[in-house]
């Protein structure tokens, strides 16, 4: 049996992330799905919520899901971690790895650190959004939830935040907005 890795900032986690998890569990022949929040995405300058808080939110959201584990691997490194390092770490568990990415990552994918090596090590699974093109050599995971973390941080569409953490996330981002005003 294989494993899957789903990484990201999850700043904040939302219904789109939950939909990806459900589709992965329903469609891929895997034993375990590892959700790996980034300390900081290597292509971004920072996050809005601290790493430990995003990790806690994910743990609460997916606590009841069998075959799902939230991993602190990248957060424990205390720095931006390229995906190749994460995949190398998880190869100690299984060498058959599906790597889940969003369709919004496709344009820059070949710029990822050690992309050629990473490409040989994983089976790419692309979570698509409405209107996104996914090349045939990638597995397509149809997920059609129209949401972005940016909208949630501005407190739009907060109904798309999982119930188990919605109030805490709303309060956290409200507090940030008050500090910035």
Q: Where are the beta strands (DSSP E) in 74-121?
A: 97-102
Query: How far apart, in whole angstroms, are the C-alpha atoms of residue 175 and residue 167?
Result: 12
127 part of a folded domain? yes
pLDDT at 11: 94
User: Is the four-CA dihedral 167, 75, 101, 21 of positive or negative sign?
Assistant: negative
Query: How far apart, in whole angstroms, are the C-alpha atoms of residue 74 and residue 83?
Result: 9
User: Could you tell me the residue range of the domain that residue 47 belongs to?
Assistant: 2-146
In the chain, which residues have pLDDT < 70? Answer: 181
- Distances from the Cα of 79 to the Cα of 9, 73, 150, angstroms: 13, 11, 22
When divided into structural domains, the chain yields a total of 1
Residue pair 169/48 in contact by the 8 Å Cβ criterion? no
156 part of a folded domain? no
pLDDT at 181: 62
| CATH number of the domain where residue 108 is located | 3.40.50.620
pLDDT at 10: 95
Q: Could you tell me the pTM of the whole model?
A: 0.93
pLDDT digits (tens, 9 = 90+) for 122-150: 999 999 877 778 999 999 998 877 777 77
């Amino acid at each position: 049996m294989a494993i899957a890795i789903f990484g990201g900032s999850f700043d904040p986690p939302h219904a789109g992330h939950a939909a990806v998890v459900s589709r992965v569990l329903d469609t891929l022949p895997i034993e375990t799905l590892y959700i790996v929040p980034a300390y900081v995405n290597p292509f971004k300058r920072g996050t809005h919520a601290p790493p430990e808080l995003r990790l806690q939110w994910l743990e609460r959201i997916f606590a009841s899901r069998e075959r799902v584990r939230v991993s602190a691997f990248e957060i424990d490194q205390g720095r931006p971690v390229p995906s190749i390092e994460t995949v190398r770490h998880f190869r100690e568990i299984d060498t058959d790895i599906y790597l889940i990415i969003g369709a919004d990552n496709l344009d820059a994918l070949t710029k990822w650190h050690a992309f050629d090596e990473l490409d040989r090590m994983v089976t790419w699974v692309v979570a698509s959004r409405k209107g996104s093109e996914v090349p045939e050599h990638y597995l397509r995971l149809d997920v059609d939830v129209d949401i972005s973390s940016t909208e949630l941080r501005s407190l739009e569409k907060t109904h798309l935040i999982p119930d188990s953490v919605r109030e805490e996330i709303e309060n956290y981002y409200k507090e940030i907005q008050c500090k910035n005003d």
